[in-house]
Each structure stands twice: as C-alpha cells, then as structure tokens.
Structure 1
Amino acid sequence: MSPEAVEALFTRGDGSYLFARWGRPIAPVVFGVAEETLATVKGAAEAVVALAGHQMAETDPELGANLMVFFFRDWAELPQVPNLDRLVPDLGPLVERLQAAGANQYRFFRFDEGGGIKAAFVFVRMDDELAQLPAEAIALNQMVQVILLWSDRAFTDQSPLARTPEGTLVLRPEIAGVIRAGYDPVMPVMARDPAHALRLAARVGGVQ
C-alpha cells in the first residue's frame, strides 16, 4: 500500500490523523446471539487478534470484559441494558441519533492514559441488510474494525473483507498487512502525526 492509502485509513472526517491500537489483552463478551453464533464471533476475535500478534484474556483486571459486542433488533433496546449508560456516555442521545440515521452498527472506544485502546463497545442492529449476511462475515468485519482505531471513513467504500475464488471469506491482504504493522512492537500504541503512516506503509511492504 502507498503511504497515502495508509494515511487515509486513519485520517478522520475532520482531517485529523489518529491511530490507536489495544494497549492490553482483549477480553471479549458477546450478548444477544445463540450459542453457535457466539462461537463464530469469538472465533473471529481470536483470528484477528492472532493476526495482529496481540493477546486475548479471560478477564480484564480493571473492567472484567473490555470488548463488549451487542447484537439486537432495535436501538431502543440499548437503554434497557443495565448500567450500559455508565460505560457509554450520553447513551440516550446517541441512541436517538443512530435511530434517526437508520444506522445498523456503531463502535465506541475508551482509551488509557497513553492513548491506547482499553475498551470497546460494538453495537450491531440486525436489520434486513445484515440479516442476509453470513454470521462469519458480520463477526469478522466487526473484529477487524475494532482491532485498530480506523478512520470513520476507512471502509465506507470498500469492505475490509474479500472472498477467495474458492469462496472462502478472508481479510483483504493489504488490510491484514496494516494490522500486523500497526502491532509491531517498535510502533507507538497511539499516533497523531501523519508521518506515522509512512512508517506503517514501510512495514506493510515488509510483512506481506
């Protein structure tokens, strides 16, 4: 990938550059799915975390679970989740905005003192569009989008996923390369300087 293409993945709608990765092992919990789908979601998490060279954990010492994934049918269900408003600020107004926009997914991140991701909340409203997709596609897509703090525009035009000629669902090689490069131990946990994209791009070329 060119440095410009990598930079675009972390350049937000307001023009600012912001990269962040997880600064602690990921301890996921999933709500609102059947047992077989739960295995699919956790399998996707394990695959993406392994790709990054990061770690998973049974629990987070501070938060218990630090990656919470919610599947539901209606945004109105979220305010009814006990104590969720303590974890996600302004939950009521947020739900109203998401309802008005007809959104089917939303991700909210919390950060540690060093700017690394310390918690993420993934909300997936299973509308007619998502209901037509395989569970593995939804799960893998969400895990890819939560392993790094991508731009809010990163995947609006093209999914991070693709299918092989045999029909196997995979992560696009260039996106996999960016994830691996972003978790290189010599790279910072958080960066706001666009020059960071040059270092990422150089490593993407080296790890593919």
Structure 2
Amino acid sequence: MEKIKIGVIGGTGLYDIKGLEEMKEVKPSTPFGEPSDNIITGTLEGKRVAFLPRHAKGHRIMPTELNNKANIYALKSLGVEWIIAFSAVGSMKEEIKPQDFLIPDQLFDRTKTRVSTFFGDGLVAHISFADPYCPTLSKILYETGKDLGYRIHNGGTYLCIEGPAFSTRAESRIYRSWGVEVIGMTNLPEVKLAREAEICYATVALVTD
C-alpha cells in the first residue's frame, strides 16, 4: 500500500479539501472498528495527503461518539507521520475574536468517558505529554497563517470538554479564571493517541464564538 506521510483531520464544516487532485477513497481496517468515514487520499500542491472528516460527511458523529482509536490507527496504517487537525472552538479571552485562528501549544483535559490510550490488557506504557502538540508542525502552521494574512494567535491552552452540551455560565467563568484561551470538544483523546502512535500532531483552531 502507498505510504502517505501527511494526514489532515477535518473538523466541523471541513468535509473535503479544495484543490485535492488524483483523489481516491480508502477504508483501512482496524482492530478498533471503523474510522469516522472513508479516508480520501490525493495530491495537494505536489504533496500526497490523506484526509479524514472527523465527524463524517454530513456531520453525523458527535464528539462523544468518535472512534478516535480507529481514526488514528487508520491514518497510521497509511504511513501518516504528520497530522494537521482542524477544530472549531469558542474563545475564552476578549482579544481572541470570532474568525480568528489559534495554534494551541497546551491542553487541559475535562473529558470524562473517552478511551484515551492504545495501551492496556497487559501492555503498560507511560508517554511524555508535557508538550502535547508538535512544536515543529505548529510553527509551520502559524507562520503559514501569518504569511497568508489571517488573524492568527501563536500558542495558548485548548480546554477540551466532554460535550455534546456546551458549558454552563458558571463553568465558563471558572475556565476563564484558569487562563485558558479556547474551548472545544475534539482534541482529546485524539492528540494523546497520536502521540502514542508516534505521529506529529498540531491543531488549527478556528474561533466560531
């Protein structure tokens, strides 16, 4: 099977990639069940890319229902070494406005029920997770956004809640007091599983509110 090093995970509103050529749909089998949707492989600006819509075409899968282990395993099986993940988020700071982009460098985990590791059943491992996002890929994404003229913020903490409900006003006040920059529902356990799979992972967070 062809090895594709660049993976893209599309978030809310991103279900395909404009300009992708030589497209083909593949559905790798995994020991964890089916990924969110077929993976679309193709060529973008001369680079081979594998694209996976996180919530499936038509936005059919809630954050709490995602089979993250199957998604990451499927991309890894194609040879993916770098994942660019897109996520819609809410802003927790006045200076971060709707339609801004942010490249987070830290995470705060408020999820509750999600399976967050490939390990277990007799296989024990403890990964380093002090810096959850890949600094090399994050820098490339930030500099590219600046060069394209987008309002983009470099660094910040992404607080991941369980969902699917949004936070209460009381919860939001507490989260703001913690100093987090954005809030979303999808980066965890996705980024933990990518780290365990030795995939370089970075997020482009689009502020929607």
**TM band (smaller chain):** under 0.3
More strand by share: 2
Bigger relative CO (Cα 8 Å, ≥ 6 apart): 1
More helix by share: 1
Normalising by the residue count of structure 2, what TM-score does the alignment of the two structures yield? 0.25
